[in-house]
Amino acid sequence: MMNTLARLPGRHLSNRTLLMIFVAGLALSILGSVLIRLPSSSASVGFVVVCTIKTVPVPEFPRVLTTFAVEPVAVFLLAFAAGYYILLFRRVRRTPLKRQFPRWRALCYLTGIALVLVTVFGPFAAYDHTFLSIHMLQHFLLITIAPPLILAGAPLTLLLVSVGRKARGRYFYPVLHSRPFHAFTNPVVGLALFALVPTLWYVTPLFEWALTNEWLHYTGYSIFLFAGLHYWWPLIPANPTRWHLPYPVRLVYLLALVPIHAFLGSMFYQPERVIYPQLSAIPRAWGPGPLMDQQAAGAFMFIAGELIGLIALMIVAAQWATAEERSTLRKEAEARRRASTTS
């Protein structure tokens, strides 16, 4: 396969060239990260404002829709991941393996990456430390919506196919087949992460610390995304794993969505006081008050969480029914072949 890929058009982008592009882009993004944190570094063009989360202006409509809090390094890493995926996808599409990578996989992956970018660096990021409802929407997208879209693109499988047999055997398979990797990728670990990460983030002081600590703020984004990817990994086909869950187990696994989202929803909706005093102290020229905002966050988490859980259960149930139908057809075909042979 490596020889096949080497003969493809577009192979002129060697690994060394890609490394140089990565290093140059990373250096420029680091420089941009330094410059954007200089005093009075926020830029505005018309209604569009580009700033950091520490220099976000007071929320006013309609400026809240065009204010972007960015982190150049993270934006570059996500953009590079999208570009590299496109490069590998185009190469594999020119091989006999193209049937394993239909175009909808690339669409899912790029949609997932775009969703992460918009969630973490768009207007949501600018005011997620002002409105709890926006913060809740962000974390819901990062742990529940973006991960299955990214995994539907089969990025690791695409990488394994692209690197060739020699590299797979030398660098990737020893890790993928190792006991620590198997233990860490156990669905029980993913289930624990999916439950503990959002719970500990909001129950402990971590959330309040992240309101004033920029690096903890972005670390929280990455932890939520990682927990989501880990949880959804055994449920999305075309990704290498030894944990192939039977359909009844998948249904039980998905039921974890219900109590977790219900707990978080009730935690924010039921109290008659603002849980995080820091949010009350932040000036708001527009939008709901702190208590109404908190209750809206709880209602959203409960309703959206239950809805996504129901949709996921219906999809798995439909897949189970289809698999059972195919199994029945295979058994009937095998029985007919045996009958015709004996006769």
The pLDDT, as a whole number, for residue 5 is: 43
| Among candidate residues 229, 305, 239, 245, the one with its CA nearest the CA of residue 269 | 305
The stretch 218-234 carries a mean pLDDT of 92
The pLDDT, as a whole number, for residue 3 is: 41
Beta-strand (E) ranges in 83-188?
none
| Rounded alpha-carbon distances, angstroms, from residue 73 to 30, 31, 36, 138, 239 | 6, 9, 11, 19, 27
Summary mean pLDDT of the chain: 83
329-333-335-336 Cα dihedral, nearest 10 degrees: 140
The stretch 293-313 carries a mean pLDDT of 85
- Residues 6 or more apart whose CB falls under 8 angstroms from that of 23 comprise none
Q: How far apart are CA 251 and CA 316, in angstroms?
A: 7
Beta-strand (E) ranges in 52-100?
67-69
Q: Which two tokens stand for residue 284?
A: 């708001």
> What is the bridge-based pairing of β-strands 48-51 and 67-69?
parallel
Cβ proximity of 239 and 156 under 8 Å: yes
Confidence of residue 306 (pLDDT cuts 50, 70, 90): confident
The stretch 243-272 carries a mean pLDDT of 83
Confidence of residue 151 (pLDDT cuts 50, 70, 90): very high
Long-range contacts of 160-168 (CB under 8 A, 24+ apart): 160/240, 161/1, 161/92, 161/97, 161/100, 162/5, 162/88, 162/91, 162/92, 163/2, 164/1, 164/2, 164/5, 165/1, 165/2, 166/2, 167/2
Beta-strand (E) ranges in the chain?
43-45, 48-51, 67-69
Confidence of residue 142 (pLDDT cuts 50, 70, 90): very high
Q: How far apart are CA 212 and CA 217, in angstroms?
A: 8
Confidence of residue 285 (pLDDT cuts 50, 70, 90): low
The pLDDT, as a whole number, for residue 177 is: 86
Total domain count, the chain: 1
Cβ proximity of 197 and 278 under 8 Å: no
Residue 191 pLDDT exceeds 80: yes
The pLDDT, as a whole number, for residue 217 is: 85
Q: How many CB atoms lie within 10 A of CB 87?
A: 15
In a domain, 145, yes or no: yes
Domain that holds residue 117: 17-342
DSSP code for 1: -
Q: Is 237 left (phi over 0), alpha (psi -120 to 50) or beta?
A: beta
Global pTM reads: 0.84
The pLDDT, as a whole number, for residue 42 is: 58
If one compares 95 and 192, the residue with the highest pLDDT of the two is 192
Q: How far apart are CA 229 and CA 101, in angstroms?
A: 20
Q: How far apart are CA 237 and CA 256, in angstroms?
A: 20
The stretch 336-343 carries a mean pLDDT of 74
The stretch 218-232 carries a mean pLDDT of 92
In a domain, 85, yes or no: yes
The pLDDT, as a whole number, for residue 112 is: 96
Proportion of the chain above pLDDT 70, given as a percent? 90
DSSP code for 48: E
In a domain, 213, yes or no: yes
Residue 115 pLDDT exceeds 90: yes
In a domain, 325, yes or no: yes
The stretch 53-77 carries a mean pLDDT of 77
Q: Is 280 left (phi over 0), alpha (psi -120 to 50) or beta?
A: alpha
In a domain, 98, yes or no: yes
Residue 283 pLDDT exceeds 50: yes
Handedness of CA 156, 158, 160, 162 (dihedral sign): negative
The pLDDT, as a whole number, for residue 147 is: 95
Helix axes 132-140, 257-269, angle to 10 degrees: 180
Q: How far apart are CA 294 and CA 300, in angstroms?
A: 10
Longest dimension (CA), the chain: 89
Residue 26 pLDDT exceeds 70: yes
In a domain, 311, yes or no: yes
Residue 302 pLDDT exceeds 60: yes
